[in-house]
A and B are shown apart, each in its own frame.
Chain A
């Protein structure tokens, strides 16, 4: 028996919003530690890793490890039926082929449950090595979303260049070129609004704007986003979900071939 109860359905709703554009279906792996999801997009350019710790739930019970393959579109439709302040409970029997979402209004006057069929999905878990990244940039998530949105108008790709002066986002296209430079914040009044750069060595990588824009769907989950880069490894875009976990996006860079 699996049962996980969240006091606010809004967190789960935001999580779904953050991944449903990138993934159509995914497997939620539930164990004693919590719920984890790892999946690549269809083109295998990006990877999503979601962790919701068990201690972040109001009530969490997982008698046996269970993997629930879900259609994220269907799941999103169900979660849209929940109010933001509703309590959501995810229930599944061991070896069951369905999962049930129960939404309870704050005053308990309204209780609704939705049952969704589970899917058998091929598990393709990738081993993500622990990496010491050359650059780590923390900036307001809204700022990052704005940068991605603005630069995607100029070209399909964005160059993120981190130096000791700061971080530069640039794009070039038919209409011209765009450069956005962020310097490290001098005085940190509010940690959430700060731009913090930790750099061991300069890194410049090129990424597809489209995917970055998908990642920014998670902006509402966290006020800050952390970008981790090293040469010739995927970019990590991490949103920490307060009190419960995080969602990490991995994006493979575009690498210029030596021949050209």
Chain B
């Protein structure tokens, strides 16, 4: 990410938090800005620091997600308020990672319903670099609704020693899916009282320890924690089973402020994917699949290539244009002749702007132009692409495959429509050429066709 992009992203997020009073999670950020989840995390961290520095009077509510190993060698992943960070970290024998989970202005972000609706399961696949378990499932609306009202205690999952080693080295990326699954299992099988009470106990007993994120120093913590913790716990437990909006894969994001997920999952460092318990093969598959989908999206971007937009997250404006298939065609016609079709690059990222329109995707596409002097220039441009609900609803792997299929179809359709509009005459001619010989043949070959159909009236007279 270059400096300009970083700054513009920073401003965008600040606007979201300060002006629009939105709750921003690293998942939503990754999705909306089309950036790697790790970048989203660091961006959130930076923003918290900046805001607190520039506007000390502004109250920020920051949630952290912490994963580590407890004394009994049980793994735990929890989302907690800023106040609880240190306590929880103290209670952990080993901290795998901790980072900002979500930021909001003056709000108590512990509202499970809000978080779950913010990080939708469908969006998870759009986040670059997010690791998701195959076991993740999407919860139904009813399930979510009922879960929100229930208060449940956190669940702890036992971790295997092998996992611990691997995890210990890495920070940052959490794998939500597995944790969620485990969650569900644990909730029914191994609820541990210790863990359930963990957050509260931690708050009371543990002395505050310096959190990783120094930024987190907000006032409303204590008051916020109580309600949030209970509600979240309940939400978590149920959500682990099946959530409507958030699927298991990235449910971490949905989560609850206080609580804990237990993980078996692998942590992966910024660049390296160290798979812990889950087979590395799966992850690599996911990664490759993702790349494939990205490539396809880039291809599709050709269709929309005319749409040049400044990366800007807005709520409504672009909908009509982006969704209008004819607009794309029109654009194509206006395209300069010098333009070379966009080159698909690995950097291309698909973004679903949840903020603007979940059915739209914004992509960054490398476009190559020849300027007046004959130099070839490559620019990164954003294009919008509409995507169907079906694509969003399917599971990740299926999703990618389907998306690819659908997009390819779209491209084909588009091309065919192009042909028909642009080369109508030619098409007509070819059609005529194809048909006419047959018709001629018919006339020549079949004597049957030669006859004129007589009417009955010519044989029978009226009475």
Are both chains from one complex?
A: yes
Report Cα–Cα, A43/B453, bound state, in Å: 10
The reply to whether B456 and A256 contact each other, CB–CB distance below 8 Å, is: no
The reply to whether A129 and B446 contact each other, CB–CB distance below 8 Å, is: no
Q: Which of B111-119, B289-297, B437-445 contacts A (4 or more CB under 8 A)?
A: B437-445
Q: Which of A29-37, A150-158, A218-226 contacts B (4 or more CB under 8 A)?
A: A150-158
Of A129, A177, A260, the contact of B460 (CB 8 Å cutoff): A129
Residues in A whose Cβ lies below 8 Å from that of B462 = 124-127
Residues in A whose Cβ lies below 8 Å from that of B454 = 45, 252-255
Residues in A whose Cβ lies below 8 Å from that of B438 = 174
Task: Confirm or deny: A44 has a beta carbon within 8 angstroms of a beta carbon on chain B.
Answer: yes
Q: Mark B71-96, 1 if CB is under 8 A from A, else 0.
A: 00000000000000000000000000
Q: Which single residue of chain B is at the shortest CB-CB distance from A175?
A: B438
Residues in A whose Cβ lies below 8 Å from that of B441 = 174
Task: Confirm or deny: A46 has a beta carbon within 8 angstroms of a beta carbon on chain B.
Answer: yes
Q: Which single residue of chain A is at the shortest CB-CB distance from B451?
A: A254
Q: Mark A167-181, 1 if CB is under 8 A from B, else 0.
A: 000011110010000
Q: How far is the CB of B207 from chain A (nearest CB, A)?
A: 85
Known: A45-B453, A46-B456. A125 touches B463 (CB 8 A): yes
Task: Confirm or deny: A119 has a beta carbon within 8 angstroms of a beta carbon on chain B.
Answer: no
Q: Which single residue of chain A is at the shortest CB-CB distance from B461?
A: A127
Known: A173-B442, A254-B454. A157 touches B449 (CB 8 A): yes
The reply to whether A155 and B448 contact each other, CB–CB distance below 8 Å, is: yes
Known: A126-B461, A128-B460. A252 touches B446 (CB 8 A): no
Residues in A whose Cβ lies below 8 Å from that of B375 = none
Of B446, B451, B456, B458, the contact of A172 (CB 8 Å cutoff): B446
Residues in A whose Cβ lies below 8 Å from that of B446 = 155, 157, 171-173, 177
Of A47, A156, A255, the contact of B456 (CB 8 Å cutoff): A47
Task: Confirm or deny: B279 has a beta carbon within 8 angstroms of a beta carbon on chain A.
Answer: no
Q: Which single residue of chain B is at the shortest CB-CB distance from A43?
A: B455
The reply to whether B458 and A252 contact each other, CB–CB distance below 8 Å, is: yes
The reply to whether A155 and B456 contact each other, CB–CB distance below 8 Å, is: no
Report Cα–Cα, A158/B442, bound state, in Å: 13
The reply to whether A254 and B452 contact each other, CB–CB distance below 8 Å, is: yes
Q: Which single residue of chain B is at the shortest CB-CB distance from A156?
A: B449
Q: How far is the CB of A243 from chain B (nearest CB, A)?
A: 28
Q: How far is the CB of B165 from chain A (nearest CB, A)?
A: 71
Residues in A whose Cβ lies below 8 Å from that of B457 = 40, 44, 126
The reply to whether B448 and A156 contact each other, CB–CB distance below 8 Å, is: yes
Q: Mark B267-296, 1 if CB is under 8 A from A, else 0.
A: 000000000000000000000000000000
The reply to whether B449 and A255 contact each other, CB–CB distance below 8 Å, is: no
Report Cα–Cα, A174/B436, bound state, in Å: 11
Task: Confirm or deny: A69 has a beta carbon within 8 angstroms of a beta carbon on chain B.
Answer: no
- Greatest chain A CB density within 10 A among B448, B451, B452, B456 is at B448
Task: Confirm or deny: B447 has a beta carbon within 8 angstroms of a beta carbon on chain A.
Answer: yes
The reply to whether A252 and B448 contact each other, CB–CB distance below 8 Å, is: no
Residues in B whose Cβ lies below 8 Å from that of A234 = 456, 459-460
Report the count of interface residues on A (CB-CB < 8 A): 34
Task: Confirm or deny: B450 has a beta carbon within 8 angstroms of a beta carbon on chain A.
Answer: yes
Residues in A whose Cβ lies below 8 Å from that of B455 = 43-45, 252
Task: Confirm or deny: A159 has a beta carbon within 8 angstroms of a beta carbon on chain B.
Answer: yes
Residues in B whose Cβ lies below 8 Å from that of A157 = 446, 448-449, 451
Q: How far is the CB of A31 from chain B (nearest CB, A)?
A: 15
* A-B contacts, CB under 8 A, total: 89
Residues in B whose Cβ lies below 8 Å from that of A132 = none
Q: Mark B346-370, 1 if CB is under 8 A from A, else 0.
A: 0000000000000000000000000
Q: How far is the CB of B321 from chain A (nearest CB, A)?
A: 46
Report Cα–Cα, A40/B459, bound state, in Å: 13
Report Cα–Cα, A260/B447, bound state, in Å: 11
Report Cα–Cα, A89/B41, bound state, in Å: 83
Residues in B whose Cβ lies below 8 Å from that of A189 = none
Q: How far is the CB of A232 from chain B (nearest CB, A)?
A: 8
Q: How far is the CB of A154 from chain B (nearest CB, A)?
A: 9
Q: How far is the CB of A48 from chain B (nearest CB, A)?
A: 10
Task: Confirm or deny: A194 has a beta carbon within 8 angstroms of a beta carbon on chain B.
Answer: no
Report Cα–Cα, A254/B462, bound state, in Å: 21
Residues in B whose Cβ lies below 8 Å from that of A206 = 447-448, 451
Report Cα–Cα, A45/B452, bound state, in Å: 11
The reply to whether A256 and B450 contact each other, CB–CB distance below 8 Å, is: yes
Report Cα–Cα, A127/B462, bound state, in Å: 6
Report Cα–Cα, A159/B145, bound state, in Å: 72
Report Cα–Cα, A219/B454, bound state, in Å: 25
Residues in B whose Cβ lies below 8 Å from that of A124 = 462
Q: Mark A209-251, 1 if CB is under 8 A from B, else 0.
A: 0000000000000000000000001100000000000000010
The reply to whether B451 and A44 contact each other, CB–CB distance below 8 Å, is: no
Residues in B whose Cβ lies below 8 Å from that of A128 = 460
Residues in B whose Cβ lies below 8 Å from that of A156 = 448-449
Residues in A whose Cβ lies below 8 Å from that of B448 = 155-159, 171-172, 206, 254
Report Cα–Cα, A127/B455, bound state, in Å: 14
Residues in B whose Cβ lies below 8 Å from that of A109 = none
Known: A45-B456, A46-B456, A172-B446. A126 touches B451 (CB 8 A): no
The reply to whether A127 and B451 contact each other, CB–CB distance below 8 Å, is: no
Residues in A whose Cβ lies below 8 Å from that of B450 = 254, 256, 260
Residues in B whose Cβ lies below 8 Å from that of A43 = 455
The reply to whether A155 and B442 contact each other, CB–CB distance below 8 Å, is: yes
Q: How far is the CB of B444 from chain A (nearest CB, A)?
A: 10
Residues in B whose Cβ lies below 8 Å from that of A46 = 456
Task: Confirm or deny: A118 has a beta carbon within 8 angstroms of a beta carbon on chain B.
Answer: no
The reply to whether A256 and B452 contact each other, CB–CB distance below 8 Å, is: yes
Known: A174-B441, A252-B455, A255-B454. A155 touches B460 (CB 8 A): no
Report Cα–Cα, A204/B10, bound state, in Å: 88
Residues in B whose Cβ lies below 8 Å from that of A155 = 442, 446, 448-449
Of B442, B451, B458, the contact of A256 (CB 8 Å cutoff): B451
Some 21 contacts from A to B, beta carbons below 8 A apart, are A44-B457, A45-B453, A45-B454, A45-B455, A45-B456, A47-B460, A125-B462, A126-B456, A126-B463, A127-B461, A155-B446, A157-B449, A159-B447, A173-B445, A206-B447, A250-B460, A252-B453, A252-B456, A254-B454, A256-B450, A256-B451
In the complex, given contacts A171-B446, A250-B456, A257-B452, what are 12 additional A-B residue pairs having Cβ atoms less than 8 angstroms apart?
A40-B457, A44-B456, A46-B456, A125-B463, A126-B461, A155-B442, A172-B447, A173-B445, A233-B459, A252-B456, A255-B454, A260-B450
Q: Which 10 A-B pairs have the closest CB atoms?
A: A254-B451, A157-B448, A172-B446, A126-B460, A252-B454, A44-B455, A206-B451, A47-B456, A256-B451, A127-B463
